[in-house]
Amino acid sequence: MAEFDLIARILARAGVRADVALGIGDDGALLVPPAGQQLVAVCDTLNAGVHFLPDADPADIGWKSLAVNLSDLAAMGATPSWALLSLSLPQADADFVERFMQGFSALADESQIALVGGDTTHGSLSVGVTALGFVPAGMAMTRGGARPGDAVYVSGTLGDAAAALRLQQSVDGAAGVSPALLARLNRPTPRVTLGQALRGVANAAIDISDGLLADLAHVARASGVGIELQAGALPISKALSALASATQRVRWQATGGDDYELAFTLPPERVPALEGLGVTCIGRVVAGEGVRLRDGTGESVVFEQAGWEHFTGATQ
């Protein structure tokens, strides 16, 4: 199986869009962005043994490699359009590529993304995706717009993926983890529609990939504000609320990675715009700095780790 045959299998699932003047097959893709829009470009890599277990289902790896990028686009308020895929493979494994593209294209088709190019090389298993999207000029959300007095919201529920990963690594393996939790780890749902709905509503937004506290610390720093959160307000799934101790659950919710939910801030007068969006108020923006999580009695809840960070081994 040569590189060319692998690329042919990828091409078969690349998807089509009218704004792709030239897709896979030449030295570069020719893309036609709509007038009046800004391009949003994001890039995230998944490495075997770091971001996924070496024996993970290739279809899950395909889905997640795109999902983590769509989550970044969602946090910017962008409408996804195109992706590029850099695949490093230990061997020219057609089955792996087929399964991988099944997962990748399931999400790409659902999100109306066309795969327009990439690179296929020999090396240890690694998947890099670059995704592009549009936002009306000047309308992108950033981490820097939070203001004292804003309410802090989060989408969906928190901690499921972290709990699934931890339970999967314990005695029973994946078989011992509820399918609802495993799906949150292996097939995260990027909040693309929500991100677009928040344009012009949220003052600041971020997607939660490394842990709520760690990611909101980026918002606090970029905005020059402090953030106060209520532990009891953090949204929790049914599956997670049946597990472990209350302390452990809050730890997963506040510091576990891989949620791919959106956290955002907005002035209280815009809260009615959130009706029906499946989001939960978890705190408020204050003058000052840093992120504080408080329990029901107002005491600070402190964890030794706020979230995941590469190179330093996790402590932030």
Q: Which residues bind ligand ADP (CB under 6 A)?
A: 7, 10, 24-27, 85, 87, 115, 117-120
Q: Which does 185 bind (CB under 5 to 8 A by kind): Mg ion, ligand ADP, none?
A: none
What are the backbone angles phi and psi of residue 13, rounded to the nearest 5°? -115, 20
Amino acid letter for position 142: T
Q: How far is the CB of 3 from ligand ADP (least distance, A)?
A: 7
Task: Compare residues 9 and 147 and give the one whose CB is closer to ligand ADP.
Answer: 9
Q: Which stretch binds Mg ion (CB under 5 A): 26-34, 56-64, 151-159, 245-253?
A: 26-34
- For residue 39, the minimal CB distance to ligand ADP (Å) is 18
Which of residues 118 and 195 has its CB atom nearest to Mg ion in the complex?
118
What minimum distance in Å lies between the beta carbon of 199 and ligand ADP? 30
Round to whole Å and give the CA distance between 154 and 180.
20
> Cβ of residue 4: shortest distance to ligand ADP, in angstroms?
7
**Interacting partner of 45 out of Mg ion, ligand ADP, none (Cβ under 5 to 8 A depending on kind):** none
Q: Which is nearer to ligand ADP, 107 or 146 (CB)?
A: 107
Nearer to Mg ion, 27 or 172 (CB): 27
Residue nearest to Mg ion (CB): 27
**Regarding beta strands 126-136 and 114-122, do their DSSP bridges make them parallel or antiparallel, or are they unpaired?**
unpaired
Q: Is 27 in the site for Mg ion (CB under 5 A)?
A: yes
CA 235 to chain centre: 17
The option from ligand ADP, Mg ion, none interacting with 200 (CB < 5 to 8 A, set by class) reads none
- Number of residues interacting with Mg ion: please give it, by CB under 5 A: 1
Least separation in angstroms between CB 131 and Mg ion = 22
CA atoms within 13 A on the CB side of 297: 2
**CA distances for 239 relative to 33, 177, 224, 233, angstroms:** 42, 10, 36, 17
Query: Which residue's beta carbon is nearest to the bound ligand ADP?
Result: 118
- Which does residue 198 bind out of Mg ion, ligand ADP, none, counting CB within 5 to 8 angstroms by kind? none
Query: Minimum distance from CB of 82 to ligand ADP (Å)?
Result: 11
Min. distance of Cβ 121 from Mg ion in angstroms? 13
* Cβ at position 25, least distance to ligand ADP in Å: 5
Q: Which is nearer to ligand ADP, 25 or 173 (CB)?
A: 25
Q: With contact defined as beta carbons under 8 Å apart, do 80 and 73 qualify? A: yes
- Taking the least distance from each CB to ligand ADP, the nearer of 13 and 249 is 13
**Residue 10 or 192 with smaller CB distance to ligand ADP:** 10
Q: Which does 117 bind (CB under 5 to 8 A by kind): Mg ion, ligand ADP, none?
A: ligand ADP
Cβ closest to Mg ion, residue 117 vs residue 235: 117
Where along the sequence are the contacts to Mg ion (CB under 5 A)?
27
